Amino acid sequence: MDHDNYPDSFLRQILGDARTIAMVGSSDNWVRPSYFAMKYLQSKGYRVIPVNPKAEGKEILGEKVYASLKDVPHRIDMVDIFRNSEAAGPITDEAVEVGAPVVWMQLGVRNDEAAARAEAAGLKVVMDRCPKIEYGRLNAELGWSGVNSRVITAKRARRAGGPVRRGSLSSRR
C-alpha cells in the first residue's frame, strides 16, 4: 500500500465497513480534536469507544472509557490513534492482538514499521489522515471553509445593548 496516496475506494470501504471505532487518545476536553472527531463520527452512526488510561471508568460523550484496547469488551472494527507516532507502534501491535481489522493513524501520526507489522498480520492501515475529514470529503459534506459547522454566518451579530440599526453611527464603531 502506498501510504502517501490512498485511493478513495480504499478509504470509502474502510469507513463503510466500520461500525465500532476504538479511539485511542480520546479526551473529555471539548476543545481537543479527538473530542469533536468522536462527536462527529457518533453523529454519522458510528459507535466510538474512548480509550485513555488517564480517564478509565469515566464517560466521554456517553461512552465508557477503557484503559487499553484489551479492556474493550466489544468487537472493534477500527482503531483510531490520536497519539504521537512513537506511541502508535505499541498501539498498533495491541490492535493486531485484539483482532481489529483496521488501524487508522490521525493527522501527523505515521509509523511505517508499525504499519508494516499490521499489514503483515492482515490489517488495513491508514496513516496521517483523519476519518472525520475523510468521511466529510467522501460524502461531499465539506463547505467553503473546509468544514460544515453551520456556525459561520453572514448575518450581523446583535450587540449587547440592543439591535444594531443599519446606517447608524453605533453600527460603525
Residue 37 is part of a domain; what is its CATH number?
3.40.50.720
Q: How confident is the model at residue 173 (pLDDT cuts 50, 70, 90)?
A: very low
Q: Which grid cell is 82?
A: 490520536
Handedness of CA 74, 79, 82, 83 (dihedral sign): positive
**Dist CA 95 CA 129 (whole Å):** 18
Structural domain includes residue 114? yes
Instruction: Answer yes or no: pTM beyond 0.85.
Output: no
With a cut of 70, say whether residue 103 has pLDDT above it: yes
> How many domains is the chain built from?
1
62-95 confidence digits (pLDDT tens)? 999 999 999 999 999 999 999 999 999 999 999 9
**Structural domain range at position 107:** 8-142
Question: Could you tell me whether strands 59-60 and 63-64 are parallel, antiparallel, or unpaired per DSSP bridges?
Answer: antiparallel
CA angle 168, 169, 173 (to 5 degrees): 125
Spatial contact of 102 and 124, defined as CB atoms under 8 Å apart: yes
81: which strand partners? 24, 105
Structural domain includes residue 49? yes
Distance from the Cα of residue 119 to its chain's centroid: 21
Structural domain includes residue 164? no
Structural domain includes residue 63? yes
**Dist CA 150 CA 143 (whole Å):** 9
Q: How confident is the model at residue 140 (pLDDT cuts 50, 70, 90)?
A: confident
Q: What is the dihedral of CA 131, 13, 1, 101, to 10 degrees?
A: 80
Q: How far is CA 41 from CA 26, 44, 91, 132, 151, in A?
A: 13, 5, 21, 6, 18
Structural domain includes residue 168? no
24: which strand partners? 51, 81
Structural domain includes residue 118? yes
Looking from the CA of 128 toward its CB, the CA atoms found within 13 Å total 9
Handedness of CA 47, 14, 111, 36 (dihedral sign): negative
Structural domain includes residue 86? yes
3-27 confidence digits (pLDDT tens)? 999 999 999 999 999 999 999 999 9
